[in-house]
Structure 1
Amino acid sequence: MRILTWNINGIRTIPQYHPWNGFKTQQARLDHLNADIVCFQEMKSSRKALTKDIAAPETYDAFISLPLKKSGYSGVATYTRRVPCKAEEGLTGLLDTKPPLTATERVSSHYPKDIPDLANLDSEGRAVTLDFGAFVLINVYAPNDGTETEDRIQFKIDYQKLLSERVRQLVEVEKREVIVLGDLNACAALIDHCEGPIMAKKLGLDPNSPDAESAFWAEKECRGWLHNWLVDAGGPFVDVVRQLHPDRKGMFTCWNTKISARESNYGTRIDYILVTPGLMPFVRGADIQADVKGSDHCPVYLDLDDAVMEGHATVESAPRLCAKYWDEYKQKSLGDFFGKKDAKPAPPKTPSQTQTPSTSQLSSSSQPLKPSTSLGSLTTSAKRKRAEPVPASTKKAKKGTIASFFTSNVPPLVAEPETEDEDYKLALALSQQPPSPSPAEKRSPSASRTKEKAQWNTLLARIPPPRCTVHDEPARELTTKQGTNKGKMFWICSRPVGPGYDRGREERRREDVNPEYRCDFFKWSNDVRREAMAKRESGDVES
């Protein structure tokens, strides 16, 4: 059994990337991931925007949690081929399901209570909890504190407490095996951060020392929380991917795509699969899939032996939370609605209704129409009242054809002879002759024209890219996408970012700068063009 987690950064974003743009359905995309259980984070959609193809694939049951207020934000979804016994949205048991879940439908009988503002913590669509009998699976998207506002930092701390308490009750009180997976938005160790060694050196510590790890955990509360959740620190979970690859460096799952950080693997590991120790004997493999593109994160998977499910009851129908039971997907189409009704026989037509004039009657009762030379005459004739039919002749009328209707004995138009006078012909002939060049023009081209042409060539010529100051290599031009300078173009060093790249003197000590990566070169495109034009006017033209 393969379980996979992936922060997709928007369900509508995935189809824009290869190879996902080659699949027409969500079913095909899920099949390509080749997992029995697929957990997505950051769906970034509203329920109204989810099509049936996304929410109810043919061979998967989908369990989805979306924000109650903010649309196009957060959201998680768990797709599974194996039917879970029970399913709940969120972590608190407070999210309203209509009708409410019964005691037998709930995953647990114990829920966190002593945490403030529980309903608000569970309102952002950040977790789905499924019970598979052998284990409880929690798909979670932990809050990001990137905004650094006090409210969001506190929200993240409270959410971590909520998640920890939910797991504690499952493990300690109900004696369940638990898997928590998803984007936890935290690093568990120095090795999981691209800047880890530099952080330690900045504090005057050896990156491989316990003191460096302790300082790393203490810098952000979320790091200390995640570390304390692991068995090495007395917690309930095994970081299964790190357990199988303890010394692998650069095992990152998230990169800043705005600075092309994935090219040089300048990232962090914030996506995890955590399992309780009782499941470790069934683990057959676990790893990241850094080669899978389509998001600023990559998938992480866990392979479990199928024997883990032995001895646990199976169910045939999915729990009520499953998206295929949503009302909007149970409505019948108009085609189905009308297709089920028996067609009633049409009432018989009376002779007056069925009698139609024959073609011969039509041709004999009206004269052929002559083609009109103006649209106005056609419009006028169409509005006239139909003439009374003329009594048929005793002589049998010849049957008309469509071609004969449009052809008539109209005499052809005869072109009138041209009556242009001789003066007009002479003027026309003279106008078609090229003007005779003046003696000055015969000797040399106009100096003003040559100068004007040179000025235009100079103005329109491509400006060569500036060269960065450290590597003396052609720079790369980018466009500002936000802020007061939105739309303005600028040049930066073309090398990729990496550990120790120059982020400026205010953010990077000179002794920590690694010249192998991007330097701090920056120049506005307008300044580059202005300098290049000045050089050309002075005769110092760049090649």
Structure 2
Amino acid sequence: MKFVSWNVNGLRAVLKKNFYDVVNDLDADWFCIQETKMQEGQAKLDLPGYHQYFNYAERKGYSGTAIFTKHEPISVHNGIDVPEYDTEGRVITLEYPTFYMITVYVPNSGGELKRLEFRQGFDKAFRAYTSQLSAKKPVIYCGDLNVAHEEIDLKNPKTNHHSAGFTDEERTDFTAQLDAGFTDTFRHFYPDRDGIYSWWSYRGAARSRNAGWRIDYFVTSQAIDGQLQDAVIHDDILGSDHCPVELTTKNLLED
């Protein structure tokens, strides 16, 4: 089974670029996106064979998530049941008989870390939400988590130590998420691989210099570690300031 996640930095914009080519080439069972930056009715996607689910932010042109899947779920839930965090369209959960599939766009702490407190609150609430689900059946979640966990996960850790996405607080919160019984799937397979990133600033020719950050993830309940097969970061795919990331597993829909 193949899962793909991509922060498209504006779905309507990437639809005019290579979105359909990427979806067709990767041919995922689940294709999750973040930062749709659109409201209901602003784009109609032609994705034969895929069920389409969206969560829109109340604020226009901001945030937003979607999941396109070949496998119809038994239920769909938007948000994490915390009103403070559920107005920005950041989370979609699909329930299947044997697992939960979640896409998430974690808040950015912003310039001068003005949203760090808000983001930490989201991290705590999301950890509680995923832990509650994982106690029932395994969870797979993916998306732009807006954190580079360790120094190996970004090009310039020293100069970015107190930057949004690489503060001690954000990194500690992600460690707490993993300690709650979850696996960073890329590091599960490639614990020491460096120079592999999923986001590059548009400034300073960062992508051509590979001055990037690994902030897009697939995270899974440790209960299915034995069913994971591979994790891939498609850093050759353009169209956004992020690239798609991928997880392959055994057939989790079988009991």
Once the two structures are superposed, residues 170-189 of structure 1 have per-residue CA deviations (whole angstroms, 9 ceiling, x without a partner) of 123xx311112100001111
1:125 counterpart letter in structure 2: G
**Does residue 106 of structure 2 align to residue 156 of structure 1?**
no
Once the two structures are superposed, residues 435-456 of structure 1 have per-residue CA deviations (whole angstroms, 9 ceiling, x without a partner) of xxxxxxxxxxxxxxxxxxxxxx
- Residues 48-67 of structure 1 mapped to structure 2, 5 A cutoff: 48-51=41-44, 54=45, 57-67=47-57
Residue 121 of structure 1: aligned partner: 85
RMSD, aligned CA: 2.0
Per the normalisation by structure 1, the TM-score is 0.44
Residue 40 of structure 2: aligned partner: 47
What is the alpha-carbon distance in structure 1 between the residues aligned to residue 144 and residue 2 of structure 2? 18
Once the two structures are superposed, residues 281-339 of structure 1 have per-residue CA deviations (whole angstroms, 9 ceiling, x without a partner) of 11111110000110000111011112x2212xxxxxxxxxxxxxxxxxxxxxxxxxxxx
How far apart are 1:49 and its partner, in Å? Answer: 1.0
What is the alpha-carbon distance in structure 1 between the residues aligned to residue 144 and residue 225 of structure 2? 21
Q: Structure 1 stretches (4+) deviating beyond 3 angstroms?
A: 197-200, 217-220
Once the two structures are superposed, residues 372-409 of structure 1 have per-residue CA deviations (whole angstroms, 9 ceiling, x without a partner) of xxxxxxxxxxxxxxxxxxxxxxxxxxxxxxxxxxxxxx
Per the normalisation by structure 2, the TM-score is 0.92
Instruction: Give the direction of change, closer, same or farther, for the CA distance of 1:149–1:193 in structure 2 (3 Å limit).
Output: closer
- Residues 233-382 of structure 1 mapped to structure 2, 5 A cutoff: 234-306=179-251, 308-311=252-255
Aligned length: 252
1:86 counterpart letter in structure 2: S
- Contact 1:178–1:275, Cα closer than 8 Å, also in 2: yes
**Does residue 98 of structure 2 align to residue 141 of structure 1?**
no
1:40 counterpart letter in structure 2: I
What is the alpha-carbon distance in structure 1 between the residues aligned to residue 167 and residue 101 of structure 2? 30
Q: Secondary structure at the match of 1:63?
A: strand
What is the alpha-carbon distance in structure 2 between the residues aligned to residue 2 and residue 309 of structure 1? 12
**Does residue 113 of structure 2 align to residue 168 of structure 1?**
no
How far apart are 1:32 and its partner, in Å? Answer: 2.5
Q: Secondary structure at the match of 1:12?
A: helix
Q: Secondary structure at the match of 1:32?
A: helix
Residue 75 of structure 1: aligned partner: 64
What is the alpha-carbon distance in structure 2 between the residues aligned to residue 123 and residue 146 of structure 1? 18
Q: Whose strand fraction is larger, Structure 1's or Structure 2's?
A: 2
- Contact 1:187–1:226, Cα closer than 8 Å, also in 2: no
Residue 339 of structure 1: aligned partner: none
Structure 1 portions without partners, runs of 5+: 93-117, 201-216, 312-543
2:169 counterpart letter in structure 1: E
2:190 counterpart letter in structure 1: H
- Contact 1:8–1:14, Cα closer than 8 Å, also in 2: yes
What is the alpha-carbon distance in structure 2 between the residues aligned to residue 287 and residue 149 of structure 1? 30
**Does residue 186 of structure 2 align to residue 193 of structure 1?**
no
What is the alpha-carbon distance in structure 2 between the residues aligned to residue 137 and residue 218 of structure 1? 26
What is the alpha-carbon distance in structure 2 between the residues aligned to residue 58 and residue 124 of structure 1? 28
- Contact 1:218–1:224, Cα closer than 8 Å, also in 2: no
What is the alpha-carbon distance in structure 2 between the residues aligned to residue 290 and residue 133 of structure 1? 33
2:122 counterpart letter in structure 1: Y
Q: Which has the higher contact order (CA 8 A, sep 6+)?
A: 2
2:218 counterpart letter in structure 1: I
**Does residue 171 of structure 2 align to residue 223 of structure 1?**
yes
How far apart are 1:198 and its partner, in Å? Answer: 5.8
How far apart are 1:197 and its partner, in Å? Answer: 5.2
Higher Cα radius of gyration: 1
The percent of aligned pairs where both chains have the same amino acid is 33
Residue 5 of structure 1: aligned partner: 5
How far apart are 1:39 and its partner, in Å? Answer: 0.3
Q: Secondary structure at the match of 1:263?
A: coil
How far apart are 1:146 and its partner, in Å? Answer: 1.9
- Contact 1:189–1:227, Cα closer than 8 Å, also in 2: no
Structure 2 portions without partners, runs of 5+: none
Once the two structures are superposed, residues 477-506 of structure 1 have per-residue CA deviations (whole angstroms, 9 ceiling, x without a partner) of xxxxxxxxxxxxxxxxxxxxxxxxxxxxxx
What is the alpha-carbon distance in structure 1 between the residues aligned to residue 90 and residue 160 of structure 2? 31
What is the alpha-carbon distance in structure 2 between the residues aligned to residue 199 and residue 297 of structure 1? 18
